[in-house]
Amino acid sequence: MGRKNRNRQRAQQNRDGRAEGKRSRDDAGWGAGYSEIIKENKLFEHYYTELKIVPEGEFEEFMEAMREPLPATIRITGYKRYPDELAWHTNLSRKILRKSPLLEKFHQFLVSETESGNISRQEAVSMIPPLLLKIEPQHKILDMCAAPGSKTAQLIEMLHSDMDVPFPEGFVIANDVDNKRCYLLVHQAKRLNSPCIMVVNHDASSIPRLHFDQDGKKDVLFYDRILCDVPCSGDGTMRKNIDVWKKWTTSNSLQLHGLQIRIAVRGVEQLAVGGRMVYSTCSLNPIEDEAVIAALLEKSEGALELADASPDLPGLKYMPGITSWKLMTKEGQWYSDWSKVPTSRHTQIRPTMFPPTDPEKLANMKLERCMRILPHHQNTGGFFVAVLVKKAPMPWNRPDGSSADAPVEAVEGETPAEGNPSVPDTPDLLEVKKDNVCGPPPPKKMKLFGFKEDPFVFLTEDDPIFPPIQAFYDLSPDFPKLNVLTRTHEGKKRQLYMVSKELRNVLLNNSERMKVINTGVKVWSRNTDGEQFGCAFRLAQEGIYTLCPYIRARIINICVEDVKVLLTQENPFLRKLGDDAHNQAKKLGMGSIVLRYLPDPKDLDAPQCPIDLCGWRGKTSIRAFVPRNERLHYLRMVGVEVFHDKQGKRNDGSTEIQERSTEDAEGLSQEHHSSVPFYDAAAAETGPLEVLVG
C-alpha cells in the first residue's frame, strides 16, 4: 500500500508540474510554448543587410517588427451582402484572442462565424494575390498550391460576386500535392457552399492538362486566371511561425528554387492568352522571388509581361522588385555571378538563381514591377507578389509543329526531375466516360496516394428520382437536372449534390486524368420516412441558396420574430409563429420546407439581406434545419445575444431549458436534430460582435 500511495503522490506531482508549466506558458502571452526559441538569427540579419531589400536606415525597425507578434486579421465573406469594409485587424495576437477571459465572447464570435463561412481568419498579406487576379464571374481559375485554402475561399467569393446568380459561368479548381492537406482545403471550401469549386490532388509541377467540350468539339482547357502561391522558405512568416528563427538558412531557398520554377512554368503553360497569373511567396529572398520571375520572363521570349499592379491596390505600401542580388551559401560564402560558382557547387547552385547579365534584357523585364511587402511598413507579415500577363503562347506551345509541352531542358540549368512540367500529357484520353460516371484515375495510369475517393455519378434527365422531387417542390422548368450528381452507383442515393455546368463538363472529360477529392454542394438528403409525405428527399441548408431560384412551392415567408422563434426553440408549435407565417404553414402538408425572410427597406433596424432556412413542417410543429454556427450567425443578425460560458450555463449558473414538442417529429430521424445554443434575448450590451457584423 505504501508503494502505491507513493506512486499516486508522484503521479499527482507530475500532473501538477505539467499543469503549472502550461499555466506559465499561457501567462507568458504570445509565443507560449516557444519560450526556448530566441528570436535571433545572425545569418538572417547578415544576409538581408547585404541584399539591401530594406531601405537604408530602416533595418533595425524591420527586425523589431519581425520579433513582434502578428496582428490577428479577419476577412468578411464578400458575396454575402456585407458592407465594403471587408478586412479587419486588431493589434492583439491570436494567442491573446484565444486565452483572454475578457475576449471570450469575441473569440466565440470568431470561431462560429468562421465555421459558418461568414468570415475567414486570414493573414493580411495573404489577401493580396486574389485581389490582384481581378476575378470576374466567368473566369476559369486554377489555384495550383491551394492548401490550407484561405486564398481559395477568397477566389470563390470573388467568383460569386453576384449572389443572384446561383451558377456563375466560371469555376475554381483548387489543387494541392499533399493528400491530407487536400481535406483541409475541402473544409475551407465547403464553408462557402459553392457549386463551382473542385478540389484535386496533384503535383503542381506536373498537373495534367485538361480537356472540355466546346461547341461540340474537344478543346484544351486554358485558365483565365492562375494563382501560383508556391512552397517557399517562409522567412516572411517569422512573426507567427516562431521556429523559422532557428531553422532559417540560405540553403532552404536554394533547394526550393528549382521546384518553384517548374511549378510556375507549368502554370503559364496552362494560362490562356490574355490571362493573368499571380506568382507569390511568403519569402523575402530574391532567389525565390525575382530570380524565378526573371527565369520565366527570359524563357517566355516575350510571351509573358510583368504587369504594373500598383494601381490595383493604391493604399498598399510595398518595395519595388530589385534588379541586383547575390547568393550566399549556408556557410556564408557569397557568389554574385554564375561564372564564379565552382563546379562542385553546380548541383546546389543554378544559373537561374542570378540576375540576367545582359543590361538591356534586364531592363526590359521591368522587375521593379514586382512587389515586396515588408513587415514594418504596415504591421504585416513579409510577402512577395508579381503579376504576369500572357501576351502569346509560350515558345514551346506555339502552333508551328513543335511539341505540345516544353522540352525537358525548357528551364535553363534545370536537370530532369520527378514532377518536371515538361512531362508530356497522357495521350488519347478524349473520350467521355460512359454512363456519366467520373471516378479516380485507374491505378495503372497514375499513382494514387491517400484515401480512395467515391465516384462522381451524374444523373440523367429521365432518372426516376426526379419526378417526385419536381412535383413536391414545383421546380421551375429550367432546373438543370444534368448538374445533379451522387457519390455512388449502387444502392439508394443518400445525398444529391450539384455542380455548375462548366464543372460537369470538366469532370466528364477528364476522369482518367484527375484525382478529384471533392466537388459540388449538397442540395438534398434522403429522409428515411419522407416518401409518405410525397418526397424522399429533404432540402439541405448547404445548398439552399443554389436551389432556391428554382423552388416555387413549400415556401413560408417569415418575419424577424419568426426567425428568433425558429432558431431558439427546438420544435416550436405552429402557433408560436406570427399570424401570417402560421396561416401559410397550415396550408402545407408535412415535409421539407423553405423558411424565407425578405428584408423590409422601411425597417432599417431589421436585417437588410434575405435569409433562406431549411425547415420541416411537422404535424403540429415546425423546425429549422440549420447547423449550429449558422444559427448563431442568423441570431446575431436579428439582434439576439448569443453567448455561453465554458460550462454551457447562464451567468447565474442555471442551465438553459428549451420548450420542445417532441410528439410530432414524424418523419424526422433523431440524427437530424441540432443542439440549440444558449441565448439571452433580453441582453442589451453592445460589444465587438455588433461592431463587426453591423
Range scoring the smallest mean pLDDT among 396-400, 609-613, 622-626: 396-400
Q: How far is CA 116 from CA 111, 139, 431, in A?
A: 9, 26, 39
Looking at residue 93, its amino acid is S
How sure is the predictor about 135, in pLDDT bands with cuts at 50, 70 and 90? very high
Predicted local distance difference test score (pLDDT) of residue 119? 84
Predicted local distance difference test score (pLDDT) of residue 12? 53
Residue 423 has pLDDT above 50, yes or no: no
Yes or no: say if 118 and 192 are a contact pair by the CB < 8 Å rule: no
Yes or no: say if 181 and 189 are a contact pair by the CB < 8 Å rule: no
Predicted local distance difference test score (pLDDT) of residue 591? 94
Residue 427 has pLDDT above 60, yes or no: no
Predicted local distance difference test score (pLDDT) of residue 604? 87
Residue 241 has pLDDT above 60, yes or no: yes
Residue 623 has pLDDT above 80, yes or no: yes
pLDDT > 70: percent of the chain: 79
Q: 302: annotated binding-site residue?
A: no
Q: 176: annotated binding-site residue?
A: yes
Q: 149: annotated binding-site residue?
A: yes
How far is 146 from 202, CA to CA, in rounded Å?
11
Q: 148: annotated binding-site residue?
A: yes
Residue 573's nearest CA partner among 619, 625, 523, 518 is 619
Q: 145: annotated binding-site residue?
A: yes
How far is 250 from 330, CA to CA, in rounded Å?
5
How far is 322 from 204, CA to CA, in rounded Å?
27
Strands (E), 134-222: 140-143, 171-175, 197-200, 211-214, 217-220
Host H or E run for residue 545: helix 544-547
Side-chain half-sphere CA neighbours of 690 within 13 A:
12
Catalytic annotation, residues = 282
Residue 680 has pLDDT above 60, yes or no: no
Q: Can you list the domains of the chain with their CATH numbers?
A: 42-70+124-145+204-396 (3.40.50), 71-122 (no CATH)
Strands (E), 221-377: 223-229, 271-281, 304-306, 319-320, 327-328, 334-335, 371-373
Q: What is the mean pLDDT of the chain?
A: 82
pLDDT > 90: percent of the chain: 61
Looking at residue 279, its amino acid is Y
Q: 147: annotated binding-site residue?
A: yes
Host H or E run for residue 561: helix 560-568
Residue 10 has pLDDT above 80, yes or no: no
At 530-562, the pLDDT tens digits run 678 889 999 999 999 999 999 999 999 999 999
Q: How far is CA 71 from CA 124, 239, 242, 591, in A?
A: 9, 9, 14, 48
At 50-109, the pLDDT tens digits run 999 999 999 999 999 999 999 888 888 865 445 466 888 787 777 788 888 888 888 888
